[in-house]
């Protein structure tokens, strides 16, 4: 075996065993001697893709294509590099070329389908790509997952779930199928089941950041939902207590406030304690990011207003004024309208 073959064989193997750094070291040394070696450049592109270094992957694939423009794998890497860089139109063009050069490979249709999800004008073609990939590789789990994504994008969640289940029947450890199925559970508000699913996906592929984000999103969604329930009950309890007890009877008011605080403590403990320190850090980040969205800002503002109203009503003397009723009703309307726009979503 020559030095070139050895280097390429080892680099290919290192990439298969997820050691792109080592592969890059090997390939860089090899390319120092043979800078125009197209297979080495293609492998270098693959290695950089594994490290999410889109720019470097694109550069390597461009160099490889300059030497060997007909290599399908290089077009695939180029398309994935563009995708990593968020240049979806160019990614789709490269993936089209990949399909043209290798129409017999299911991976070409699969890659194109994945990329087209990010191209608004061509989303309808995703199902077509998934269908072709399935025709070529019916026993592979990935095309089923892509088909599930296509149905999910069309909001046909039942069929999407069926596709994910088929993928899991083929490969029970398929992390993305597990995660996507759990995403559908979360959409239905099945927090516990969704959390189990996301954790299973993370167990199958612990390094996938997407699953961590989904775990955090589930915890946060659950926290928001039950927090809002506590908020509504707090308002109701404040209204009832304020009307039922005497103006100077503070004990029931303090008890209600205590119960509310206790409920919050229990909720936070139940939802945050199972999360590790690192996930709690992500949750804080996610919360800050959510606050940047208009929808969540409305929910949060409604929540704060409602809680402020509830406290005012709870401790406001019931002297026949309509202020408590007005405050409670207004806050409730804000809260419910915010809730009505809220949906549980995760990344797929």
Residues in the site for another protein, rule: CB under 8 A?
Answer: 1-3, 5-6, 8-10, 12-14, 16-19, 22, 173, 199, 202-203, 206-207, 211-212, 276-279
Q: How far is the CB of 5 from another protein (least distance, A)?
A: 5
Which CB sits closer to another protein, 19 or 154? 19
Which CB sits closer to another protein, 14 or 105? 14
Which CB sits closer to another protein, 212 or 253? 212
Rounded Cα–Cα distance for residues 32 and 43 (Å): 15
Contacting residues for 77 by C-beta, under 8 A, at least 6 apart: 42, 45, 46, 49, 57, 60, 61, 64
For the chain, state the CA radius of gyration: 27
Burial 162-196 (b: 16+ CB within 10 A, else e): bbbebbbebbeebbbbbbbbbbbbbbeebbebbbe
Q: How far is the CB of 229 from another protein (least distance, A)?
A: 29
Q: How far is the CB of 274 from another protein (least distance, A)?
A: 11
Which CB sits closer to another protein, 152 or 214? 214
Q: How far is the CB of 48 from another protein (least distance, A)?
A: 16
End-to-end CA distance of the chain: 43
Question: CA 328, 331, 335, 337 torsion: positive or negative?
Answer: positive
Question: CA 67, 70, 73, 76 torsion: positive or negative?
Answer: positive
| 189 dihedral zone (left: phi>0; alpha: psi -120 to 50; beta) | left
Distances (CA, A) of 320 to 243, 256, 316, 324, 325: 9, 21, 11, 10, 10
Q: How far is the CB of 16 from another protein (least distance, A)?
A: 6
Which CB sits closer to another protein, 10 or 128? 10
Q: How far is the CB of 159 from another protein (least distance, A)?
A: 29
Which CB sits closer to another protein, 12 or 87? 12
Burial 27-47 (b: 16+ CB within 10 A, else e): beebbeeeeebbbbbbbbbbb
Which CB sits closer to another protein, 175 or 256? 175
Q: How far is the CB of 342 from another protein (least distance, A)?
A: 28
């Amino acid at each position: 075996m020559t030095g070139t073959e050895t280097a390429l064989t080892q680099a290919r193997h290192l990439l298969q065993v997820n050691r792109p750094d080592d592969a890059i070291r090997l390939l860089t040394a090899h390319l120092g001697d043979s800078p125009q070696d197209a297979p080495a450049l293609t492998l270098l592109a693959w290695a950089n893709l594994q490290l999410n270094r889109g720019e470097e992957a694109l550069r390597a694939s461009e160099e490889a294509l300059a030497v060997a423009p007909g290599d399908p794998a290089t077009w695939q890497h180029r398309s994935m590099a563009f995708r990593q860089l968020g240049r979806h139109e160019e990614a789709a063009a490269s993936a089209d070329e990949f399909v043209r050069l290798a129409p017999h490979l299911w991976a070409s249709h699969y890659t194109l389908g994945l990329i087209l999800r990010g191209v608004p004008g061509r989303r309808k073609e995703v199902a077509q790509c998934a269908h072709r990939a399935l025709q070529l590789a019916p026993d592979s789990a990935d095309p089923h997952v892509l088909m599930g994504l296509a149905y999910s994008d069309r909001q046909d969640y039942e069929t999407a779930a069926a596709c994910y289940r088929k993928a899991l029947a083929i490969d029970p450890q398929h992390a993305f199928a597990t995660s996507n199925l759990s995403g559908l559970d979360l959409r239905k508000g099945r927090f516990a089941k969704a959390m189990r699913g996301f954790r299973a996906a993370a167990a199958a592929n612990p390094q996938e950041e997407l699953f961590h984000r989904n775990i955090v999103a589930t915890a946060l969604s659950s926290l928001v939902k039950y927090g809002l329930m506590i908020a509504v009950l707090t308002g109701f309890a404040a209204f009832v207590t304020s009307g039922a007890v005497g103006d100077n009877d503070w004990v029931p008011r303090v008890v209600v406030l205590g119960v509310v605080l206790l409920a919050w403590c229990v909720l936070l403990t139940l939802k945050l304690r199972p999360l590790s320190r690192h996930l709690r850090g992500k949750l804080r980040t996610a919360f800050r990011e959510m606050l940047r969205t208009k929808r969540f800002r409305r929910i949060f503002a409604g929540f704060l207003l409602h809680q402020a109203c509830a406290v005012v009503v709870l401790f406001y003397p019931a002297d026949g004024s309509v202020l408590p009723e007005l405050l409670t009703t207004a806050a409730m309307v804000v809260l419910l309208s915010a809730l009505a726009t809220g949906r549980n979503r995760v990344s797929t």
